[in-house]
């Protein structure tokens, strides 16, 4: 069965009979710096308190997030990664007609299918336009919908919508009485485009964020959503208790305080993206210019290349199951120089360059 997400190093390690540590995972777009040392220290310091239940309201974490974003802590709900919150929104609001671009993150549609009356209105993004969201087209497509999902930067393309355009769409969603859920899981790589502060002005805008990508906390699962105050109680009524464990809350607080880690991340990601783009051009591999820490590549014989890389212990994301993409696309994460060079070397051999 084809993977619906990246990051399944376990299946490949079992297939190759390799230790999981020997798999190079380009399929999951995680910060190549790994977990911040400040987070490691905070987790070690708090392990001794695991006999207590976690705070069900994550008050300390919410307070930290509110201070960082300069927003009302009462508008914040924390979750077991932002994916939990996608399902929570769908379960609480039960939208019947939902606008979802294509290609984009698959969990939006899966989450909304809990409603027996659910119908998806798909907005096909244009390959010749780098799969960018066209603001007016998106607004027109929202008409008649109860909800719309917008991933910014989009997954799997890495394309970011400008803040002014996102606000324009959000203003339209208010007039249309259509909930706009903006998934900012990768916005830490382009923080200037976030609309998180706009939620307090718009009763139809919801912004979801993740701490797992930028801070490399995928295995711990931590995310949060910012909701209009008029629906926070409705959302909470549908949420299971204690989904954010003590160590995840501790990690989130430590990560947000680590400004040195952020600065180093921006520097390393820029260096590695410059390197990768130069090599893509040398190898004549077509790629979508990305504002995030991953690239969507269009490459001939993608299936064969994915399989050949897998045989060498290199996992990339097969994008053929993304609605709106064909079998010629793969997504790769920006990793360390050593790993990036390994990937480029293997791609060069497979592409005959």
Question: Among 199, 222, 256, which residue terminates a domain?
Answer: 256
Cis peptide before 103 (omega within 30 of 0): yes
Mean pLDDT score of the chain, rounded to an integer? 92
Are 125 and 208 found together in one domain? yes
Are 232 and 187 found together in one domain? yes
Are 146 and 244 found together in one domain? yes
Are 142 and 252 found together in one domain? yes
Q: Domain tally for the chain?
A: 2
Answer whether residue 228 is part of any domain: yes
Answer whether residue 319 is part of any domain: yes
Give yes or no for residue 217 having a pLDDT over 50. yes
CB-facing half-sphere around the CA of 303: CA atoms within 13 A? 5
Question: Among 256, 279, 312, which residue terminates a domain?
Answer: 256
Residue showing tokens 């930028």: 214
Lowest-confidence range among 12-26, 114-128, 137-151, 178-192?
12-26
Residue showing tokens 């979802």: 100
Confidence of residue 300 (pLDDT cuts 50, 70, 90): confident
Q: Could you report the per-residue pLDDT of 64-99, keeping only the tens digit for each? A: 999 999 999 999 999 999 999 999 999 999 999 999
Are 180 and 302 found together in one domain? no
Lowest-confidence range among 14-18, 109-113, 167-171, 243-247?
14-18
CATH number at residue 19: 3.90.1150.10
Give yes or no for residue 237 having a pLDDT over 60. yes
Are 329 and 180 found together in one domain? no
Q: What is the mean pLDDT of residues 273-282?
A: 97
Question: Among 222, 256, 290, which residue terminates a domain?
Answer: 256
Structure token digits, residue 111: 């989450």
Instruction: Say how far apart CA 295 and CA 277 lie, in whole Å.
Output: 9
Confidence of residue 13 (pLDDT cuts 50, 70, 90): low
Give yes or no for residue 353 having a pLDDT over 90. no
Instruction: Say how far apart CA 192 and CA 211 lie, in whole Å.
Output: 17
Q: With contact defined as beta carbons under 8 Å apart, do 253 and 60 qualify?
A: yes
Q: Could you report the per-residue pLDDT of 24-42, keeping only the tens digit for each? A: 889 989 999 999 999 999 9
Answer whether residue 42 is part of any domain: no
226 forms beta bridges with 76, 207
With a CB cutoff of 8 Å and minimum separation 6, the contacts of 241 are 56
Indicate the DSSP class of residue 244.
S
Give yes or no for residue 213 having a pLDDT over 60. yes
| Domain region containing 342 | 9-36+259-350
Instruction: Say how far apart CA 269 and CA 231 lie, in whole Å.
Output: 37
CATH number at residue 123: 3.40.640.10
What count of other Cβ atoms lies within 10 Å of the Cβ of residue 316? 22
Report strand pairing: 179-183 vs 205-210: parallel
Give yes or no for residue 262 having a pLDDT over 70. yes
Q: Of 149, 160, 170, which is closest to residue 100 (Cα–Cα)?
A: 149
Q: What is the mean pLDDT of residues 106-127?
A: 89
Give yes or no for residue 1 having a pLDDT over 50. no
């Amino acid at each position: 069965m084809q993977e619906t997400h990246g990051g399944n190093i376990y299946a490949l390690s079992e297939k190759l009979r390799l230790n999981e540590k020997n798999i190079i995972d380009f399929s999951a777009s995680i910060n190549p710096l790994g977990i911040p040392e400040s987070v490691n220290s905070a987790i070690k310091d708090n392990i001794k308190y695991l006999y207590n239940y976690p705070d069900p309201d994550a008050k300390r974490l919410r307070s930290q997030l509110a201070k960082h974003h300069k927003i009302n802590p009462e508008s914040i709900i924390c979750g077991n990664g932002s994916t939990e919150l996608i399902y929570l929104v769908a379960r609480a609001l039960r939208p019947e007609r939902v606008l979802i671009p294509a290609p984009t993150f698959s969990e939006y549609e899966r989450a909304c299918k809990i409603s027996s009356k659910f119908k998806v209105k798909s907005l096909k993004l244009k390959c010749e336009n780098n799969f960018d969201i066209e603001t007016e087209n998106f607004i027109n497509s929202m008409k008649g919908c109860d909800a719309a999902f917008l991933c910014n930067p989009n997954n799997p393309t890495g394309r970011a919508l400008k803040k002014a355009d996102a606000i324009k769409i959000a203003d339209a969603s208010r007039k249309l009485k259509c909930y706009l859920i903006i998934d900012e899981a990768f916005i830490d790589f382009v923080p200037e485009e976030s609309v998180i502060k706009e939620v307090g002005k718009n009763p139809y805008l919801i912004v979801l964020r993740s701490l797992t990508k930028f801070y490399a906390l995928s295995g711990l699962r931590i995310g949060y959503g910012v909701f209009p105050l008029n629906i926070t109680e409705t959302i909470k009524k549908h949420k299971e208790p204690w989904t954010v464990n003590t160590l995840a809350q501790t990690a989130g607080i430590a990560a947000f305080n680590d400004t040195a880690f952020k600065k180093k991340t921006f520097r390393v990601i820029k260096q590695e993206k410059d390197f990768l783009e130069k090599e893509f051009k040398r190898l004549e591999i077509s790629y979508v210019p990305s504002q995030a820490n991953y690239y969507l590549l269009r490459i001939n014989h993608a299936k064969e290349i994915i399989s050949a890389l897998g045989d060498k212990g290199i996992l990339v994301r097969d994008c053929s199951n993304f609605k709106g993409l064909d079998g010629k696309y793969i997504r790769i994460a920006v990793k360390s120089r050593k790993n990036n060079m390994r990937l480029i070397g293997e791609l060069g051999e497979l592409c005959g360059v």
